Amino acid sequence: MSEQLTIALSKGRIFDETLPLLAVAGIVPAEDPEQSRKLIIATNREQVRLVIVRATDVPTYVQYGAADLGIAGKDVLTEHGGEGLYQPLDLHIARCRMMVAVRQGFDYQAASQPGRRLRVATKYPDIAAAHFAAKGVHVDIIKLYGSMELAPLVGLSDAIVDLVSTGGTLKANRLEAVEHIADISSRLVVNKAALKTKYALLEPVIQAFARAVASDT
């Protein structure tokens, strides 16, 4: 049996922005995951297949070797911890910013003074906790799985820690960004064991991605 290369990707912006990079590596998916219900997608190359998973699950599939490589946001990777993963490349795709945001007019300065406790809703409890700990601000973190923007509007939290790209979602919900935590982009992640055992298959793909990124920046 010939060796297989399995690439973990999430649907949506990461898949869309990865297509041109895959093309440089000579890999073209046989189907569009937005149109198909299939979770395993073949490509033009017999040895290469894609698995379509939730963005937050990409590092887990790669960590356990269910996928040899994958593409995941720095936000997701930081929260996962990166165990078992080699991260050779910043792909500069799916770029956005991790921000603290509050209701427009909310006195964030006063609410984050020493002696106060700030309630923060987020999908990123580790990133949020580390950010406020470094500032010496006491926080209660409320873990959510989506639509963080709603939390301050209905009194669930004082602030949110979330990703901002155009700023349109904050604006539509009368929220404002008050602090920048980190610039975010997506990274190539590779299973550390696969890097050794499947080096001949993996190396050209990693090199092609590196070329595509270099020609784009």
Cα(86)–Cα(37) distance, rounded to whole angstroms?
30
Residues 7-46 that bind ligand PRT (CB under 6 A): 10, 12-14
Please identify, using beta-carbon distances, which residue of 16 and 203 lies nearer to ligand PRT: 16
**Residue 162 binds ligand PRT, judged by CB under 6 A:** yes
**Residue 210 binds ligand PRT, judged by CB under 6 A:** no
At closest approach, how far in Å is the CB of 113 from ligand PRT? 28
**Contact residue for ligand PRT among 2, 109, 166, 217 (CB under 6 A):** 166
At closest approach, how far in Å is the CB of 191 from ligand PRT? 19
Please identify, using beta-carbon distances, which residue of 90 and 107 lies nearer to ligand PRT: 90
**Contact residue for ligand PRT among 31, 167, 173, 178 (CB under 6 A):** 167
Please identify, using beta-carbon distances, which residue of 15 and 198 lies nearer to ligand PRT: 15
**Contact residue for ligand PRT among 165, 197, 203, 211 (CB under 6 A):** 165
Residues lying near ligand PRT in the complex (CB under 6 A):
10, 12-14, 54-56, 73, 75-76, 94, 96, 146, 162-169, 184, 186
